Every structure is written in structure tokens, then in C-alpha cells.
A and B are shown apart, each in its own frame.
Chain A
Amino acid sequence: MNTKLKKGINKISEKTISIRQAGIMLFFLSFSNKILLLPSMLYNYAKTDSFFIYLILFLLDIFLLFVFVFLKKRYINKSFFDIFSKKFGIFIAKTIYFLFLIYFLTKIVLLFNVSFFYFRDQIYKSISPYIYLICIIPVLNHAMLIGLRPVGRSMEFFYNIILFAVVLCVGISFVNLNNFEGFFITKISDFSLGLFKHLFCFGDYVCMFFIMDKIQFKKNKEKIYFIYSAIGILSVLAIVLMFYLIYGSTAFLHVNAISDIINFSNNYGEIGRLDIISMLLVMFLTYFQLNIYGNCFSECFSKVFNKLSTVYSVVSLDLAFLFCVIFIFNSLQTISFSLRNIFPYLSILSFVCIPIISFVCLLSDKKGEKNRYEKNF
């Protein structure tokens, strides 16, 4: 291998993450917005059958992951933007990326709000969203500025602890089957409505498309993506199932799903409030998911406004984020209304646009690119 190529590889590998780190990102993305407010919101439409809504929407997520894996295999080191713009032209590519800019901003705002209301209920008797912002923004900005690699590495660092916390959350919960209402009790129309209205809470695996050039490629190692996403999905399903088993019926906008499955466990009362485990878990999940969205936002920003540095994307996100939090999504009611009536249409971007673009690219370009990159941390 010549020196020039070696240098090039080193330069690229400095910014890339390993497949394992990408898999761990999928694990984190599996949780996004799904274990706090969503179980109770879905219950309103589909009662305990909401569990199947989770299953169906997760299958859609896995479909996205399959598309991503095919695309990554074909275009080993190319960015999604490069592939996309080559087939559809720069203007269309930039337009779609601009829409995704809004998509990721909305994801950030939604995650911020849901976790804020959760922590306000759970650990802060009275907290202003501004105080919460002061905690979130420095970490989010730092993650955007330093890039994806440290974010991936830090997730890898905490992964085992977080997985252990998830297992504890499910393991120590107390299940009372007497309250369980059984499955297949809702009408198809209500079920479908519930499914459609909460589409936006899923489709997070779309993030992988925007960072695909920053993930190292290793032949025949694609199963790693599926292993970690399966761990994430099974964890979420276990938590949701526990929630529906514990609560015979639950209030609308019951934000504390994960904590309450532990809170209602009276087996360990003498030890103290074990829901601190779930709180810490949600804290880590919130920060990490925000970091992934922040990096995707930054990626979209750099492609749409290709001459501006990351600092501009950070400032833009902060301003847009503050505007949304202060003036638009400042109550739980607004959030739940938007989530059900406006955001599902944004999901077209992730569930329709991305697969179509990917299929067109895959079908029209059979050769692809075959550069291989050596193992590097």
C-alpha cells in the first residue's frame, strides 16, 4: 500500500466509528421516546394491544436497517448525500436534507420535552425548562463539536453499565397479572389510528444513513448491527410489556412508564427507591440520543450549507431549539397534540423517502464502490 493511500486511510479512520460503536448507537436509538410517554399515549388508542404497535413499528425500523446495510455494503465509504445527489441532483438532495434538518430538530425537541416532564415529575419537585436546558445544551454542543467518534466511544464506554441497568429495571419489577386486560381487545381502526399517529416515535434508525460514511466497513460483520438493535428492541418491548402487565388501565400522558414499573415493585422497599436506576438510565439515554441527533443535524447542516463550519450548525441548532422550547412546545399537551397530528407526516421522510431513494440508487447502480478500509479504532 502506498504512503499516500495510507495517509488517506489514517485521516479517514480518525473520524470514523467501529461497527460495534455503530451497533451500540442503534441500541440507544431503539429507546428513543419509547419508554416514557409513549406507552400511555398508545394505550389511549389500542389499550394493551399497543404492544403490537410497538412490534409493527419496530419491524419498520428493522426494514430501514436492512436498507442501510445493503446501501453500506454497496457504497462502502460514500456518504448518503454523495449517492443521493449523484442520482437525483444536488438541489433535490439539499431539499431532502433540509427537511431532515427539521426532522432531527423536532426529534431533539420532542426528546427534550418528554424527558423534561419525566424528570420534573420524578426527581425535581420544581424545575424550570431553562435549568434543564443549561444541563442539556453544553453536552449537546460539545458532542456536535467534537464529532461522532468521541460520541461513539463514550457510548461504548457506558454500554455495559446501561445494559445492566435495563436488565435490572425489568428484572426487579413486580408483575401482577390480575390487572392484565389481555390482547386483541381493540378495533382495527383504533389500532391503525394509534399506529399512524405515533409513527414519529419510531424510525430513528434513519440516523444511520446520515453517518454511513463515518462507519468503518468490515466484510461479513453486518450482523453486529442486528445484534445490538435486537438487544435494544427486546429491552424496549420487555419494558413496555411490563408496563401493560402492571397497569390494568393507565392514565393518558403517564410520563413515567419505566420508573413506575419499578416503583410498584414492593419486593425491595427496604432498600429504598430503586427507581433511581431507571432515572439514571433515562438520563444516560436522553443525553446519548440527543448527541446522535445533534450529530445528524450537524451532518445535514454541513451538506445543506456546505461552506459553513460546525460552529454554525451548533449555533443554529441552539437558536432553533430554544425558540421551539420557549415559544412552541412548552407544555405536555402541545407536545402530545403535535406528536399525534403533525409529526406523523414528518415520518414520511424516514419511512418512505429514504427507502425509495435507497432502492433507486441500489437498482440503478449495480457496481458500486469497492474500497476497503483497514481496521482502525
Chain B
Amino acid sequence: MFFYCVEEEIKEIKKQLNDSFDVESRIIVKNNQKIGLIYLKSMTDGKVFSESIYKVINEFDGELTNENLLNKVIISNDVAEINKEEVVQKILDGCVIVLTGLSEKFVSSEIQKYPQRTPSEPPTTPVINGPREGFTEDIKTNITLLRRRFYSKDLVLTNLSVGRYTKTKIVVAYINGIADKRIVRKIISRLKRIDVDGIIDSYYILECLQERPHSLFKQVGFNEKPDVISAKMLEGRVAIIVDNSPIVLTLPFVIIEDIQNSNDYYANHYYAGYLRIIRIIGLLMAVFGPGLFLSLRLYHYYILPLKYLITISDTTQNIPFTPFIEILFVSLLFQILYEVSLRLPSYLGLATSVVGALILGDTGVKAGLISPPTVIIVALAKIAQYTVPEQNYQITILQFLFLILGGALGIFSIVGGMIYLVQYLTTIDSYTAPYLAPFSPKVDSDLKDAIFKTSFTNMKQRPQSFSNVNKDRME
């Protein structure tokens, strides 16, 4: 007894897929039975299709029922019986659908294949020691990279699909027995609530996950390295892997995470502490440097020792612009060069750097349009902001705001702005984690891995700045 006509069914499925040109179908006639095959040729592996589907069906002698297909014919680790409603989605996922007509149900086998790159060292987080592999755009590869680090049943991966048109796969990963289930539930519920056309990259869901979506400050951690993500998961954080994005998100997030670097954990802990101090100095220099310099030049020049004051006044006295305009001009020049160097091909980028840094800078100074101290301060601030590259966007905006504060009202307003900023940051809580923890509120045990890093054997407890289930990392 036939439940449907195979040709008609294929026609209907094709219609549902809008007769796209890459929808391929075959009909095999065996023992008066028509077997239909339908798949997307752009998403499937032609060789696997021929060897594992087409050939074996052709060579099978018995009756081609769904049961036989599942158990005797198709030798694949991902073969299943599906309902009619699931057919289109399965085809879009890269499965081949087998239509026998002998059952209401269909058989699907995954033979997905599409271009993908192999894991390589991420350009944003290179390391001297430690693993060099990075996540790729393929979610399956990314999950494998994580699984390879946890040969344990406690690694939990929850699958979701978000986006009306893209149906992007999102996997929420956490360690059972470490991560707080309330946080996991909150993340999943927020992801389920996202109702947009599509998710192109993990950055699309970042703002939906933030407790304060309109804030300047990022409240979600992200990284491209599986070792870093694994370490964060072991601390009780939850990872969110998005298909088509090599950036994996983590929650909860505290700001100190951006000061920490994977290199710190593969180096001597004294040296790691030294590097973190350098990063903090860089961060402070980047945010407050130009504003402070401007306020000293405009309002408090007599604070400077006389020798420095003479040097600065000698080099700035013939500049036609006000100090504020001058420093703003140099900052803009650097920002333009940065934008250009990002977008140009690498061989042109080098030329632009030479033109920008040497010719524009040097000629500007020689022409008397800008002063050397201004160039030095702005260059220092712009370079320093890459000591913490994850905070680059925030630093750029803050640098500009503190420049205005310093220029308008001097050092007192910079201190006021600093207090305002810290007070604002203390109001941000990211999934139970106070943003400025472990400094405010002070969490003594977490200070072991804050500015200074103690040795690995001393870090016996997991971070307590945020909620996790099992506090003990080692005995």
C-alpha cells in the first residue's frame, strides 16, 4: 500500500523550497517501487551521496521500507525517520530525504558539506605559549574543539535556533555541576525571546544578552580561543556558540576579564602580574592621557616642573591652534589613519602607515601646525589603548569624553568624570556578577587572579564574584 505518490511529493517539496535551482531530486525504480531522493546539492557532499545513499539503495535486494533503510541500507551515523513537517528544514540543514511511499514518514540522512576553514591561530589573540587553535565559522568544528577538552558527560550542550530567516544554530554550553542553572535558564530564555530576521554573527545576540543593552560598556565576554572558553566554563561561566561566527560569547562577565590574557596562564605568575600592571597603566594612559595633558596645558601648567614647562612652552608657542583644537586634530588624524589601515589591503596599509606616521606627523610638526608633545601624547594614548584590545571601542569614546572634560574644566572635572564613571560601572551587574568585582565589592579570593596573579596551585577556589554551584576548584 502506497501512502503517497513519490513524484507528486517531490514536486510539492520543491514547490515549498520555491523551486530553487540547487534542489536536486532523483527517482530510483526497483521492483516496481519508486524511491525518491531529494537534497540540496550546494549543501551536501556529492561523493558521500553516491557511495552511501544512491549506490546502497540501488544494490539492496529486499523491500525498501523505512525500517530497512534505517537498519540495513543506509550506513550512516546520522539517519532518522522524520515527519512531513520536518522535511524542508532537514533539506535546508544538508540532509538527503528518502521517499519510499510505503509510510507516511520519511527517512533523512545527513550528508552536509560546505566550505569551511581549518582551525588556525586567531589574529586577535596570538599567544607565545599555549594552544594556537582558534574557533572557526563552523559550529560543528567549534563544538568538537570544546568536546576535545572535556571528555566528560558533564559538558552540556543545548541547541537553539534563532532568526526568522536564518534559523541560525546557537549552542549554549556549560559544565553541569559548576555553572549555576539559574544563569543558564536566564540565558536560554533570553535567546528564545530574540525575534529578528536573522543572526549573522554572535555580535547580533550580544546586545540582547546584556543586562543593559544600551550601555557603552560591553557586558558579555568574547573570545576566539577554545582553551580560554574552556577555562571560563570551568570557572562556572556559560558559553554561547553561534553558527557562522568564530567568536564565542561567555557570561557572566566582569571587566577584569579583559585585563587578563591567555598568555598570563602560560607564563610565570610574577611575570603575568607585571604584564597586567602594564595593561592597566596602558588603559589609564589611553583613557585619561590626552585629557590630562590638555588640562595641564590649559589650566595647571605650573604643576609641571620648570624644565618640562620650558620645553613644552618652547614647542607650543607658535602653534596657530588652541591646545584643544590641536589635540583634537591629531586625535582625528590618528583615528582616520586607523580606519584607513583597517580597510586597505595589507600592502597598501603599510604605505599608509608610513605616510600617516612619518610624513603627515613630521611635516605637521615642521610646518608648525602641531607640536611634538601633542603628537607624542596622542600617539602614546592610541597605542596604549591596544594593551586591552577588547575594550577598544569603549576606550576611544571615553578618551574623547575625558578630552572634552579636561579641556573645558581642568583636572577637577576629570576626577569628577572618573568618579561618575566608576559609580555608573558599579551599577552594572552582569548575571549576578558585579561589573567591577573583585575590587568593588571586594572579593578576597578572586583578588588572587586580578591585578596580581598567584600561582595556579594557590587558586583553589573558583571565582566567587558571580554565582556558580561548586566553589572548590582543587583540594
Residues of chain B with a CB closer than 8 A to A125's CB: 299
Q: How far is the CB of B436 from chain A (nearest CB, A)?
A: 6
Q: How far is the CB of A236 from chain B (nearest CB, A)?
A: 21
Q: How far is the CB of B270 from chain A (nearest CB, A)?
A: 20
Q: Which residue of A lies closest to B432 (CB)?
A: A377
A6: CB under 8 A from chain B?
no
Going nearest first, the 4 A-B pairs with the smallest beta carbon separation are: A272-B305, A153-B426, A157-B440, A283-B415
Which of A20, A132, A136, A153 has a CB less than 8 Å from the CB of B434? A153
| 14 A-B interface contacts by CB (under 8 A) | A18-B441, A119-B412, A123-B299, A123-B411, A131-B409, A134-B413, A142-B423, A154-B419, A157-B440, A158-B419, A158-B422, A270-B305, A272-B308, A284-B419
Which of B302, B415, B426 has a CB less than 8 Å from the CB of A154? B426
Q: Can you list, as one digit per residue, whether each of A102-121 has a CB less than 8 Å from chain B (1) or not (0)? A: 00000000000000000100
In the complex where A123-B410, A150-B427, A154-B426 touch, is A273 in contact with B441 (Cβ < 8 A)? no
Q: Can you list, as one digit per residue, whether each of A123-161 has a CB less than 8 Å from chain B (1) or not (0)? A: 111000001101110110011001001110110111000
Contact A156 B419 (CB under 8 A): no
Task: Tell me, in angstroms, the Cα distance from A156 to B303 when the chains sit together.
Answer: 29
Show the binding face of B for A, using Cβ within 8 Å: 299-300, 302-305, 308, 409-413, 415-416, 419-420, 422-424, 426-427, 434, 436-437, 439-442
Residues of chain B with a CB closer than 8 A to A271's CB: 305
Contact A157 B439 (CB under 8 A): yes
A177: CB under 8 A from chain B?
no
Q: Which residue of A lies closest to B437 (CB)?
A: A377
Contact B423 A283 (CB under 8 A): no
Q: How far is the CB of A143 from chain B (nearest CB, A)?
A: 6
Report the contact-size class of chain A (Cβ under 8 Å from the partner). Answer: 35 or more
Q: How far is the CB of A328 from chain B (nearest CB, A)?
A: 23
Residues of chain B with a CB closer than 8 A to A288's CB: 419
Which of A18, A135, A138, A150 has a CB less than 8 Å from the CB of B426? A150
A329: CB under 8 A from chain B?
no
Q: Which residue of B lies closest to A137 (CB)?
A: B416
Contact B423 A154 (CB under 8 A): yes
Residues of chain A with a CB closer than 8 A to B423's CB: 139, 142-143, 146, 150-151, 153-154
- In terms of DSSP, what is the predominant structure of the interface of chain A? helix
Residues of chain B with a CB closer than 8 A to A149's CB: 426-427
In the complex where A135-B416, A158-B422 touch, is A377 in contact with B411 (Cβ < 8 A)? no
Q: How far is the CB of B271 from chain A (nearest CB, A)?
A: 23
Contact B416 A287 (CB under 8 A): yes
In the complex where A131-B409, A283-B411 touch, is A154 in contact with B442 (Cβ < 8 A)? no
Q: How far is the CB of A151 from chain B (nearest CB, A)?
A: 7
Q: Which residue of B lies closest to A115 (CB)?
A: B412
Contact B422 A284 (CB under 8 A): no
Contact B422 A154 (CB under 8 A): yes
A21: CB under 8 A from chain B?
yes
Task: Tell me, in angstroms, the Cα distance from A143 to B409 when the chains sit together.
Answer: 20
**Given A123-B411, A146-B423, A272-B303, 18 extra CB contacts under 8 A:** A124-B299, A124-B300, A132-B412, A139-B420, A143-B423, A146-B427, A149-B427, A150-B423, A150-B427, A153-B434, A154-B423, A157-B422, A270-B305, A272-B308, A273-B302, A279-B411, A283-B415, A288-B419
Contact A21 B441 (CB under 8 A): yes
In the complex where A157-B426, A283-B411 touch, is A276 in contact with B299 (Cβ < 8 A)? no
Residues of chain A with a CB closer than 8 A to B412's CB: 119, 123-124, 132, 135, 283
Residues of chain B with a CB closer than 8 A to A59's CB: none
A342: CB under 8 A from chain B?
no
Task: Tell me, in angstroms, the Cα distance from A157 to B439 when the chains sit together.
Answer: 6
Contact B413 A135 (CB under 8 A): yes
A167: CB under 8 A from chain B?
no
Task: Tell me, in angstroms, the Cα distance from A20 to B439 when the chains sit together.
Answer: 12
Residues of chain B with a CB closer than 8 A to A132's CB: 412
In the complex where A153-B440, A273-B303 touch, is A377 in contact with B413 (Cβ < 8 A)? no
Residues of chain A with a CB closer than 8 A to B434's CB: 153, 377
Contact A123 B303 (CB under 8 A): yes
In the complex where A123-B300, A156-B440 touch, is A134 in contact with B409 (Cβ < 8 A)? yes
Task: Tell me, in angstroms, the Cα distance from A153 to B409 when the chains sit together.
Answer: 26
A353: CB under 8 A from chain B?
no
A280: CB under 8 A from chain B?
yes
Residues of chain B with a CB closer than 8 A to A287's CB: 415-416, 419
Q: Which residue of B lies closest to A273 (CB)?
A: B303
Task: Tell me, in angstroms, the Cα distance from A136 to B427 when the chains sit together.
Answer: 20
Residues of chain B with a CB closer than 8 A to A158's CB: 419, 422
Which A residues, 284 to 309, have Cβ-Cβ distances below 8 Å to chain B?
A: 284, 287-288, 291
Residues of chain A with a CB closer than 8 A to B442's CB: 20, 156
Which of A143, A151, A270, A272 has a CB less than 8 Å from the CB of B304? A272
Task: Tell me, in angstroms, the Cα distance from A138 to B304 when the chains sit together.
Answer: 29
In the complex where A123-B300, A135-B413, A377-B441 touch, is A273 in contact with B305 (Cβ < 8 A)? yes
Residues of chain B with a CB closer than 8 A to A156's CB: 439-442
Q: Can you list, as one digit per residue, whether each of A249-293 has a CB less than 8 Å from chain B (1) or not (0)? A: 000000000000000000000111100100110011001100100
Residues of chain A with a CB closer than 8 A to B304's CB: 272-273
Task: Tell me, in angstroms, the Cα distance from A131 to B420 when the chains sit together.
Answer: 17
